Amino acid sequence: MPENPADRVGAFVPGPRAAIAGKAAGPLSGLSFAVKDLYDVAGWPTTYGNPDWGRTHPVAPSHAIAVAQLLDAGAALQGKTKTVELAYGLTGENVWHGTPTNPAAPDRFPGGSSCGSAAAVAAGLVDFAMGSDTGGSVRIPASYCGTFGIRPSWGAVSLTGACALGPSYDTAGWFAARAGILARVGAVLLPTVAPGLAGLGLGPLIKVDEAWVNATPATACALGAGLEAAEGLLGKALSLSLAPEGLPALYEHFRCAQAAEAWSTLGGWIEATNPEFGPGVKERFAAAKAMDPAKSAAGRAFRDQFRARMQALLAGGAVMIYPTSPVPAPKLGISLDAQNAVREMTMGVTAISGLAGLPEVTLPAGRVEGAPVGLSLVAGAGRDRALLALAERLAEALSLPV
């Protein structure tokens, strides 16, 4: 299926397209990249993972801003990577384009929705790849495929020219196999440090109790060395229970608020087009359409309150640390019920930075049964650059690729 013969993991969307060279002598010169097929690339179709979307939308007239920034910085675009249809799913399946193979654990899901970007990076096909993260769509595939990944502060990186899912939560994130490259991309895409944050260090380290307890013991154990190494950099972690409501309540509020946004963003097109969807996607959008407005309003109110809470806690530089996903990637072929159970335990944790708009970097710091699990560092909004620098130092301490 891959048109690119080197694409042994099926990371790229089908269809031959010529690579686009980056500008000479830029800060990313010599690096190759791919973009999730929800970013516009001038002259290429944007399918958003669904053939009907591609069919009903014109070929992109211009580059998405992030794509232009990267080309301008010298990186060479190799192609577009697969996404879950309309970015609405966490396993990484796509029945139209084929589900990418998880290069780090071929019998397991790659994770999504930015499945192709994670797989392309994990397989070494590109140096980095753009994804997007609304409720975990960079962090989860990074954790599952064993790459570095960042969900930046909400609003920090331009999404102009990218398809939207839930604009209050959507972020433009990226993957890299090396911490240094993750940071170099950030230096291009991220705004310079917000006023008032310049020169401020990060710390103390906060171990988020709920997220460590929510992880399986095997995952927590696999990430123990990562936690200790982080403590070596920032001092012994303080333990915090940040959500007395419980992680399931975080997920529920996120789900209700975000579903209403997903429908208000995409419902018009869905009703007008009546697109064919793969299994599960149709049901998720039907549920989004049917979302009780009182529940989504309660979700938005909770989000605002939770965002203020987290921003207050992290205003002085504190960094939270916890397992990116509570388990490694589920095995291909597990039941839908089992998939849903994993999704629920996962999204209680991903909802933390999702609701609060916080930057989160995940490092491939552990393995469970041979499959990768990521370790997340999460800071106050606007501290993305400092967080990337910290992730580099932590990667070095853990002898991960820098």
Residues within the interface to a second copy (CB under 8 A): 203-204, 209, 235-245, 305, 308-309, 311-318, 380
CB of 365 vs a second copy, minimal distance in Å: 20
Euclidean distance between the first and the last CA atom of the chain, given in angstroms as a whole number: 33
Q: Given the complex with a second copy, which of 26 and 248 has the nearer CB atom? A: 248
Tokens for 157, please give them. Answer: 């990186």
Residues 6+ apart with CB under 8 A from 312: none
Strand partners, 378: 320, 360
Residue type, 384: D
- Examine the residue annotation and report whether 137 is marked as an active-site residue of this protein: yes
Q: Active site residue: 32, 80, 82, 113, which one?
A: 113
Tokens for 94, please give them. Answer: 């796509």
Tokens for 283, please give them. Answer: 């049901």
Distance CA 137, CA 148 (A): 13
- Examine the residue annotation and report whether 29 is marked as an active-site residue of this protein: no
Residue type, 375: L
- What phi, psi does 80 have (nearest 5°)? -110, 140
Q: Given the complex with a second copy, which of 19 and 308 has the nearer CB atom? A: 308
Tokens for 196, please give them. Answer: 């008032």
Q: Given the complex with a second copy, which of 352 and 400 has the nearer CB atom? A: 352
CB of 396 vs a second copy, minimal distance in Å: 23
CB of 11 vs a second copy, minimal distance in Å: 40
Q: Active site residue: 117, 137, 143, 296, which one?
A: 137
Coil vs helix vs strand at 334: coil
Q: Given the complex with a second copy, which of 44 and 302 has the nearer CB atom? A: 302
Helix (H) or strand (E) holding 137: none
CB of 242 vs a second copy, minimal distance in Å: 5
Catalytically active residues, by annotation: 36, 113, 137
